[in-house]
Amino acid sequence: MERTPGVRCYRCGITYAYIGSEVHPGRCPECGSRAVSPSGRVVLRRHDLEADRRDGDEAVIYASDASGREYRYALALLDGAHAVLASLRVDEESIRRPRRGWPAELLPEAVRRALRENGISLVGTPESVD
């Protein structure tokens, strides 16, 4: 697993470094998309994982970061205890799931913790559609 502390653009796929004393502004230098990795602390806004787990096949978590962007993570529940990131929205921009899916590491720690606390393990991408 790559451990480089980089910022990733979910739209064009580049990873770039940000050097500065403030949190990064959350805009891709390449394509201008706001759909890049969260900057600063990620705060969970809304979720009801318990209910999602009980009656749905999808779980949704809303979070925001220090730049004020809102993230919507939708997870497909594969069974009661495993989930995979199915779609991602940053502010108004929806990001299509890449063909090979997203790595589980893409989810910020705050989101991963909420899943853990609700007994849901995050798995990588279940299948490749190549």
List residues binding Zn ion (CB under 5 A): 9, 11-12, 28, 30-31, 33
| Helical H segments across the chain, by residue range | 49-55, 109-117
CB-based contact 33:9 (threshold 8 Å): yes
Residue 118's SS3 state is: coil
Beta carbon of residue 107, minimum distance to Zn ion (angstroms, whole number): 19
Give whichever of 9 and 49 is closer to Zn ion, judged by the CB atom: 9
Beta carbon of residue 25, minimum distance to Zn ion (angstroms, whole number): 13
CB-based contact 79:106 (threshold 8 Å): no
Give whichever of 31 and 43 is closer to Zn ion, judged by the CB atom: 31
Beta carbon of residue 9, minimum distance to Zn ion (angstroms, whole number): 3
